[in-house]
Structure formats: C-alpha cells, structure tokens
Chains A and B, each alone.
Chain A
Amino acid sequence: MFSIERWQEIFEALNKNRLRTFLTGLSVASGIFILVILLGFSKGIENGVRTQFEQDATNEISIWTNVTSKEYKGLNPGRRIQLTTESFDAVVNKYGDYLERKSPIYSLWGARVNYKNESGNYQVRGTNGDYQFIENADIGSGRFINESDIAENKKVVVIGNKVKKDLFKDEDPINKNVSIFDMPFKVIGVYFDPGGEREESTMFIPISTSQQVFNAGNDIRSMEFTSKMSDNFDEAVALSKSVSEAIEAQIKQMHIVAPDDTSAVRVWYTLEEAKKIYSLIDTISAVFWFVGIGTIIAGIVGVGNIMLIIVKERTKEIGIRKAIGAQPMSIVGMILQEAVFVTMFAGLFGLITGLALLEAVGPQIDSDFIKYPQVDFGIAITTVFLLVFAGALAGFVPAYRAAKIKPIVALREE
C-alpha cells in the first residue's frame, strides 16, 4: 500500500490517462462541491430567517383595542374601547403565572424632539422595565426604565441608537436633556435592536410619566406580554394560544364587548407565526438535503460507471500483467488504490473549493434572508468518505472479476 514502486506505477497510469483521471475527478469534485454549496445556503437561509424573527421575543402576545362592531347588552356598536391601567392590572392578577414579561404601553407617534439645534420626529412610547425584554432591546450605554422611574413619574428617556446618531452625533447623550414637545427629559440609556434602524428610532419613557405629561389619565394604548417558554415547542405554542384567548375573553368581559366581536379587542401572538416559520425552515432544509443526497447518489453512480468503464478498458492490460506474472490481488489492489486516490483527492478538492466559495461569498451576501451560509465540516467530510467508499466499492467488483478472468481470455479481448 505504501510502497513507492506501487505509487510510481499508479502515477504513471494516471498521468498517461489524463482525460480519464480528469473526468473521474470532475464528477466527484462537482458532486461534493454542489452538496457543500447547497447545505451552506440552506443553513444561511435558516440563519437569516431566524435572525429576522428574533427581532422581537418569539413568544410575544400583544393586545390592543378598537371600536365595537356589534351591539351587546344594550350597548350600541361603534363604541371605542379604552384599555386602562386597571384592565392591565386585572390581566396580570389573573394570568400572571403564565406570563413572563408584562408591559402596558402608552405611545405617541411622531413626537417632536429637540436637542440643541438638532430636531426630529420619533415615536415616544411609555412603558415599563419589562418592555426591554419584549422588544429584545440591548442596552448599549446607561440603563433601561426601572420601577422607581415609574413610581416617581420621572422625566427620563431611553433613546434608540438611531435617535442618538440623529440628535447627538458623536456626543455622549447620557444625562443630557432632550425636549419632547418642549418638555425636558433626561437621557438615561441608549439601546440597540437586532431589527435594525427601523426599531432603533423609538424613545422609551416611564408609563406613568407618559400618562401624566400627555394627559392620558389611566389610559393605555395596548399591553404586551411574553408567555412562558417551555422546551417543547408545541407545548409553548399551546400555552401561548390558550393564554391569549383567555386574556381576550377577560378583556371583552371587563369592557362589555360581545364575545364574538372580532374588531373591538385584538390579540396577536407570535408563537404561532414562529411555528409556521420554523416548519418552513425545516421544509427548506429537507428540500436541500434531498437535492444534496440526490447529487451525491448521482456522483456515486457516476464514479461507479467510470470505474466499470476503466476496468473494462483495462481488461486486456490486466491479462497482459497476469501473463507476465502479476498476482491477481496486486492488480485489484492497484486499481483500487488508484480509484481511491483519485476520488479522495477530487472529493477533498471539491470540499475545499466549496468551503472557500462559501467563505468568500458568504459575507458579501446582503440579504435579510440569507445570513452566514456555512457547512457542518463533519457532514462534509463524511460525504467525501462516503463517496470514496462507494467509488472503491464500485471499482472493486469489476476489478475483482477482471482479475479472476483467465489471462488467456483477457488477452483475447480486443
């Protein structure tokens, strides 16, 4: 196996049959190459979609209200339903055990905000400390809103990175005062959001402060929760669904809304959405795997075919070698060693080219839905060996049979 003489013999044979060597190598290398690219992009799509989805907590439940569309208990349709701090507290009291994060919201769209000479229009959202986790906001500097801010109606604000860039440029905004509708608010923190600029142009203030300065009394615009996650995805979805429905029923009852009125109280939860998307990802990777395995099978069949042809073509040579004293097994060994060497070399070549391409092109891809395409190296190496093994097996049978042929028969073959 490791004799230099044998290798010299093999390299001579390969070198003298360059086209054959090249074709064998090409079919193996392209099979592996395509598989690597396919698996890489499948992973890239999975990463991309997952990131898209992770902008906000995946187990989020939102509740907001609108006008009634049905008459109920003597009340006319067209009545506006107003959520209040009391309705929020009632929900928390009743379903708190199933909810992880709870946050009431009072927000104003397009508030005028000034700092020195810079100004802009941003959404100002009154909320509490839990909201940071519902929004998946990362605090870059400073802190988020806390309980004492709310208890004391402090005029403090947490701004998004985009707001910071617009108003403060390179200045450190912490402890500086911005004016919202000409009222001074002290900046206590800057946050980043994986969702990007769109999600970084909101300003958060304490819920109590927003109700006070915008004269909202006890009113809130909406409430947001996250339901408890469990390891079992289906269980989590079921919990999220039943909690959402229970909260909807409770609010309808509190605000005297017909149970079948679909427009007055709106509840939306992301987990069901998540389930759809994850099953989409699963389907996509299944398709890619299917195509990839198909490619590999085609590669194996191709290699097998080439091996058959090679052995057929070399039957006479085998006969000559036997006539001048070659042992049958030395011939089988030589053909196999040659086949394994070519498939292995070509397989690794395809693997490395595929990985290099992913490495080079991956970071250039500017799409929200494909991110960091990559391949599990173990899987890739396994396929290379699988292909080599299959090629060797496909070569062994005809080589063995050819070596068994009596030299006289092999020599007669023209």
Chain B
Amino acid sequence: MIQIKDLHKSYHMGSNSLHVLKGINFTVEEGELVSIMGSSGSGKSTLLNIIGMLDEADKGSYTLDGVVIKDLNEKIAAKYRNQFLGFVFQSFNLINYKSALDNVSMPMYYQGLKRKERTDRAMHYLEKVGLADWHHHLPSELSGGQKQRVAIARALASEPKVLLADEPTGALDSTTSYEVMELIQQINDEGKTILIVTHEDDIAHMTKRIVNLKDGVIIKDENVNQVKAKAHV
C-alpha cells in the first residue's frame, strides 16, 4: 500500500538547517495497523505529514496504492488527499460551527456527492463510532473522546485507502484513549490500513507493528503481539 524509499526532509529556519528525516525506507501492506514511535524531534510527525501529503519530501520516493506521489501541486494534492487518505489529529480539528453530522459530511462535499447521499453516509459512520444520537451536536457540546470519534467518522467518510492518525489519543485520558483505540482496532479488523503516530508505549502495543524512529532514521521495525484494547475498557 505504501512504499517509501530513501526519504529525506530538511527544514530551513533562517541560516539554520535542520535535517529531520535522514533516509527512511519503509513499506506498509494493505490491512496493517502500524504505529510510528519516537521521542519528540525524532521526525515521526514529519514522516506522517509527508505520507499524508500535507508536506513534501526533499528527496526520495513515495508510492501510495501504486501512485507515485511526486511534484504535487496544491490541486492534485487536495485531490489525492480526498481520494486516498483520512486524517485523525491530536487536537481533533473539527470545524467548530458545524454539527457532528456536517463535520462528517464535509469530505464528501469535496468529493462532489449530493447532500442526501452525504447525510446518509455520514449517519452510517456516526453510527459506526456510536454517536448517531449526537449527530446534531456541535463539537463544543461533545467530550474529548466523542470529538475524536467524530473525527474518525469524518476520516472514514471519504472511504480512504489509508487512515493516518497523529497522536489520536494525545489529548485524552487513558480510559477514553482505550475506547478510541478499540474503535481503531475494530476498523483495522475490517481491513482498513491504519498508521498511528504516538509516543505512548501502551498505545503502540495495541497496534500490530511498531516502527521506532530516532534522529530521523528508523532504528527498530518489528511486528508485535497486538494487545486488544477491549481488555482495558
């Protein structure tokens, strides 16, 4: 599903140059649930942003579902994001003046779906994350865990190939974190490819594979025995 070869990325701030990714080689097959770990500054978020086409690499190749992602302009990047990817952010990033239902509908608006179909599909995904009864609530009326579940529903609504989650449990307490992880595991069990960036060990062990990053290189990449989140809830 994802093939990355010799990926480099530097940030320039004035005269200082920060080499964040120093040659990443990394492959993800369909249906995997991978966590990317590392301390802050290890480059894990940068890697996720490049995979998410929110950012661009300086060097190296990146293939997503057979499509070479290269020299993207904004237009094509937007199209690919809409087509291939679903995002879940640490700070949820819901639009605060739209109801849960409208937030989930939005990716489909940009896919050009009719309102009726958008609403039906959004309701379906809200049901899936267990928030059908909350569909008319604004994000401000939802708890952190509920917001993240709305965000997951939104990420799924565009029916992406890959779900990218950047510290999805970073802003949640441990009980809520496990609930969210349970949902993510459930979605993965249905066959969706999921990448999670995290720095929490217990969260990482709820995935099937852990990739450890340090100073811009992968130091460890191993399959682990998945801990089912359900046991903790």
Contacts and interface: CB of A to CB of B under 8 A. Distances in A.
Interface string A319-338: 11111111111100000000
B74 A323 contact: no
B59 to A, nearest CB: 18
B54 A330 contact: no
Interface magnitude class on chain B = 20 to 34
A323 B54 contact: yes
Contact of B107 (A9, A17, A324, A329): A324
A327 B91 CA distance: 23
A397 interface: no
A327 B54 contact: no
B97 A16 contact: yes
A325 B115 contact: no
A323 B87 contact: yes
Contacts, number: 69
Nearest to B89: A411
B93 A325 contact: no
A9 B93 contact: no
B182 to A, nearest CB: 24
A170 interface: no
Interface string B78-92: 110111000101010
B110 A320 contact: no
Given A325-B78, A411-B89, A8 B115 contact: yes
B98 to A, nearest CB: 7
B131 interface: no
Nearest to B80: A325
Interface string B92-127: 011101100010001101110001000000000000
**Best-buried of B83, B89, B91, B93 by chain A (most CB within 10 Å):** B93
Contacts of A328: 74-75, 78
A152 B195 CA distance: 118
Interface in A285-338: 316-317, 319-330
A354 interface: no
Contacts of A5: 109, 115
B102 A317 contact: no
Given A5-B109, A12-B102, A408-B54, A324 B97 contact: no
A411 B52 CA distance: 13
A406 B55 contact: yes
A227 B185 CA distance: 102
Interface string A394-412: 0000000001101110010
Contacts of A403: 74
A324 B110 contact: yes
Interface in A358-414: 403-404, 406-408, 411, 414
B87 A324 contact: yes
Contacts of A320: 93-95
A327 B74 CA distance: 7
A332 B81 CA distance: 19
Contacts of B9: none
Contacts of A326: 78, 82, 110
A77 B55 CA distance: 105
Contacts of B106: 321, 324
Question: Which 3 pairs across A and B sit closest by C-beta, in order of nearness?
Answer: A325-B82, A16-B97, A408-B54
24 contacts: A5-B109, A5-B115, A8-B115, A12-B98, A320-B93, A321-B110, A323-B81, A324-B81, A324-B107, A324-B110, A324-B154, A325-B78, A325-B79, A325-B83, A325-B158, A326-B110, A327-B74, A327-B75, A328-B75, A329-B75, A411-B54, A411-B89, A411-B93, A414-B91
Interface of B: 49, 52, 54-55, 74-75, 78-79, 81-83, 87, 89, 91, 93-95, 97-98, 102, 106-107, 109-111, 115, 154, 158
